[in-house]
Structure 1
Amino acid sequence: MKFEDIKGFAFDLDGVIADSARLHAKAWHQTADEVHSEWTPELAEALKGVSRMDSLEMILKAGGHENDYTEDEKVALATEKNTKYLKLVESLTPDDVLPGMKAFLDELKASGYKMSVASASKNAPAILKQLKITDYFEGVVDPAKLHAGKPDPEIFSLAAGVMDLAPEVVAGLEDSGAGIKSINAAGELSIGIGNQLTEADVRFADTSDVSLAAIKDKLA
């Protein structure tokens, strides 16, 4: 995709706009302790961008406990985790927007680009409200409408639809490998936050490095 073709940007939320990923990790760590699965940096990384029930399954499997709970018990565990997480979300302020992202949102708005949020989190609207950036976006993909999570392309295809744009004129921003695969499969330009995301079309080491000029330069 050429820089001039881009008409809109679809943002993952956790780890791209805000460090709400650390809140998820804190709540999931408590769940892992509860079910006696060892919490490791590898497990924490693997959960990024993954739906709530899929995350729980990964935590249970990590400790060999995937068959120790009924479906109702799993739903209860996931609900309990979400309650803990929402309490943590209430502590977020505009200062929790990741470095450089507020300036980038301002730049996109001033330049006339459309924006949407492609997050697997059902709590994305609450997070955006706490960060006071809801009005920047055309809308948020409703995770309840998804048939498959990342790396399936569905969420980023829907994010393009939220902006009333075709995928081929949309750039998606992600900080996870599953998210980059999702963007690529949707036929959009993938912008990775993290040098380890080798499948991304464009990579930045940190959110503070992202700007329209930097994207244009990397695509040249």
Structure 2
Amino acid sequence: MQAAVFDLDGVVTDTAKFHFQAWSKLAKEEFNLDLPASFETNLKGISRTESLEAILKFGDLLDKYSKEEVQNLANKKNDYYVEAISKLTKEDILPGITKLLTDLKANGVKLAVASASKNAPFILEKLGLAHVFDAVADPAKVNAGKPAPDIFLAGAKAVGVAPNQCVGVEDAIAGVSAIKAADMVAVAVGDKDELRQADCVVPTTRNFTYQLFSDVFDRYHK
């Protein structure tokens, strides 16, 4: 294992609640739509534009907005979201992650972020982790979002490591699919049945350790 390529939301920190709050606010203000709590799952691991399209489809409004209008609305949602995440601190790093990152670096493992969020650098800055990661893949520069492998391949390339020498870390089905499509070993956090495509699934980030990552990688490459 020469590199670990991390998703951000749900893996390093939990900003999903802020995303959904921002989408809910936009849906109510612009479309008079009340999004059910269960709808949050539909927006997990996909891009901003795809999320808005899913909301418009939910409200049977998809054909009523031009591409330019969709982009403007997506930007408005992002303003709400950025306002919320500006309050993030290192206290918002998920349990076990700080030690995991420290131990990976101590063992010479390169660290990259492969997130669909264009706000990843800003979030890492707020968490005090910007200096810890060696690279952040830019989602604006990849052809396709998850479950396509592009963002994880970009993360590996950014740290100069072959994909098959990387462990990818995720919490979403689309993300795990992207990791496997990139020919990486997949370690996931969340529901074991839902994320069964991963090579290893743990219930919480507290279970993440350097030894776990190393063992899963070695087992996969036997």
TM superposition score normalised by structure 1 = 0.93
Are 2:17 and 1:19 equivalent residues in the alignment?
Answer: no
Q: Percent identity?
A: 40
Instruction: Determine the C-alpha separation between the residues in 2 that align with 1:104 and 1:128.
Output: 16
Root-mean-square deviation (CA, aligned residues, Å) is 1.3
Instruction: Determine the C-alpha separation between the residues in 2 that align with 1:44 and 1:137.
Output: 28
Instruction: Determine the C-alpha separation between the residues in 1 that align with 2:58 and 2:132.
Output: 39
Q: Among 95, 101, 105, which residue is 1:105 paired with?
A: 101
Q: Among 192, 199, 202, which residue is 1:201 paired with?
A: 199
Work out whether residues 116 and 139 of structure 1, in 8 Å CA contact, stay in contact via their aligned partners in 2.
Answer: yes
Work out whether residues 9 and 15 of structure 2, in 8 Å CA contact, stay in contact via their aligned partners in 1.
Answer: yes
Q: What SS does structure 1 have at the residue aligned with 2:169?
A: strand
Q: Among 105, 116, 119, which residue is 1:120 paired with?
A: 116
Instruction: Determine the C-alpha separation between the residues in 2 that align with 1:78 and 1:143.
Output: 15
Cα drift, residue 41 of structure 1: 3.6
Q: Among 186, 208, 215, which residue is 1:190 paired with?
A: 186
Work out whether residues 36 and 63 of structure 1, in 8 Å CA contact, stay in contact via their aligned partners in 2.
Answer: no
Q: What SS does structure 1 have at the residue aligned with 2:167?
A: strand
Matches within 5 A, 1:136-215: 136-195=132-191, 196-215=194-213
Cα drift, residue 22 of structure 1: 1.4
Aligned amino acid, residue 44 of structure 2: K
Long gaps (5+) in structure 1: 1-5
Instruction: Determine the C-alpha separation between the residues in 2 that align with 1:84 and 1:68.
Output: 23
Are 2:88 and 1:92 equivalent residues in the alignment?
Answer: yes
Work out whether residues 137 and 158 of structure 2, in 8 Å CA contact, stay in contact via their aligned partners in 1.
Answer: yes
Matches within 5 A, 1:32-51: 32-34=27-29, 35-51=31-47
Cα drift, residue 38 of structure 1: 4.0
Instruction: Determine the C-alpha separation between the residues in 1 that align with 2:33 and 2:53.
Output: 11
TM superposition score normalised by structure 2 = 0.92
Q: More displaced, 124-133 or 28-37?
A: 28-37
Q: Deviations over 1:159-187 (max 9, x none)?
A: 11011000000000011000000000000
Q: What SS does structure 2 have at the residue aligned with 1:33?
A: helix
Instruction: Determine the C-alpha separation between the residues in 1 that align with 2:206 and 2:26.
Output: 32
Work out whether residues 116 and 160 of structure 1, in 8 Å CA contact, stay in contact via their aligned partners in 2.
Answer: yes
Instruction: Determine the C-alpha separation between the residues in 2 that align with 1:168 and 1:42.
Output: 36
Q: Among 4, 8, 25, which residue is 1:9 paired with?
A: 4
